[in-house]
Amino acid sequence: MLKAVVILFVLTISSLAQAGTGMDRLKAFFTDVTSVRADFTQQVVGVKNKVLQETSGQMLLLRPGRFRWDYKKPYEQEIVSNGKKVWLYDVDLEQVTVKTLDGVLGSTPALLLSSDTPIEKNFIIKELGEERDLQWVELTPIAKESGFDKLVLGFDDASLINMELHDAFGQLTRLHFSKIEHNPVIDPARFDFIPPKDVDVIGE
């Protein structure tokens, strides 16, 4: 189900203290970021370059492990983690799915970009150079069960702007970030989810 793919893309955007290669900016990304607030757009493209889904919303992140993605258009969905559990709330279905953070994410981009685990532990990193005025790096997961083939990140002088995920089924998911705030003060309570009344709760 296309909605379920969003759980893979919970991520952070860094404030980069200095320009440099994609590798330099990736390292700064993990060194400098503690929290993020940003808007995002997401596009899922099929094997024949057909756009299958377009969504948008806002995200919050507080490292390590805490994140919140609020999808606003074309449907309402919330993905929230307090660093231990992940809640996926589908407003239309009136359903909340609850799982442990490790159980849901494994070595996915969500775990990579919201944690403080060294990136080299889970990914092979390749410098791709400059394209479209961005510096790009490619991350290939070491674990075969990750569910995707590679993750490509595009940085400008200040931030992670684009993210492209190539999955094992030939689909491409593109994420673009805007209105980025680096290291804002975020109340940790924003990452504790209380299911609304009269919704089905599935899982742990």
Instruction: Give the tokens for residue 58.
Output: 């806002």
Q: Which pLDDT value is given to residue 100?
A: 86
Closest CA to 38 of 168, 179, 156, 144: 179
Q: What is the pLDDT of residues 161-202, one digit of tens each?
A: 999 999 888 889 999 999 999 899 999 999 999 999 999 999
Give the confidence band of 3 by pLDDT, cuts at 50, 70, 90: very low
Closest CA to 61 of 11, 121, 124, 130: 11
Whether 142 has a pLDDT exceeding 90, the answer reads no
Alpha carbon distance 136, 156 (integer Å): 9
Please tell me the class of the 2-203 domain.
mainly beta
Domain boundaries defined on the chain? 2-203
pTM for this structure? 0.83
